Amino acid sequence: GAVVSQHPSRVICKSGTSVKIECRSLDFQATTMFWYRQFPKQSLMLMATSNEGSKATYEQGVEKDKFLINHASLTLSTLTVTSAHPEDSSFYICSARDSIGPKPREQYFGPGTRLTVT
């Protein structure tokens, strides 16, 4: 089946620094990728939709200057948390939608990245 990877799986950073999380579709092309965050014992909240070669679409309330998204190729999207604060600590999950195949196209999830800001 289709595989989505995330790197790193865990990261600890100091307050004020930036951290980049990568999301890759390993065996399929993804025009569209999604970034979610999940707080403990809560559901996934969509942060933004990443479109290859164009600007990301952010959900209401998500600061685009703080959560920078780049989707430079059909297999890679990155999320950069800039000037991280402890409240940014969360579990970040990416998802990639297969660009080909019958509609509705499948959406596959990565294993998540645990970010801790100290």
Partner 1 sequence: AQSVAQPEDQVNVAEGNPLTVKCTYSVSGNPYLFWYVQYPNRGLQFLLKYITGDNLVKGSYGFEAEFNKSQTSFHLKKPSALVSDSALYFCAVRLHFSGGYNKLIFGAGTRLAVHP
Binding site for partner 1 (CB under 8 A): 4, 6, 34, 41-44, 46, 49, 57, 91, 93, 95, 104, 106-112, 114
Contact present, 99 and 29 (Cβ < 8 Å): yes
Strands 19-25 and 32-38: unpaired
* Nearest to partner 1 of 16, 101 (CB atom): 101
* DSSP state string for 3-21: -EEEE-SEEEE-TT--EEE
We find the least distance from the C-beta atom of residue 95 to partner 1, in angstroms, to be 8
* Nearest to partner 1 of 69, 110 (CB atom): 110
* Nearest to partner 1 of 49, 82 (CB atom): 49
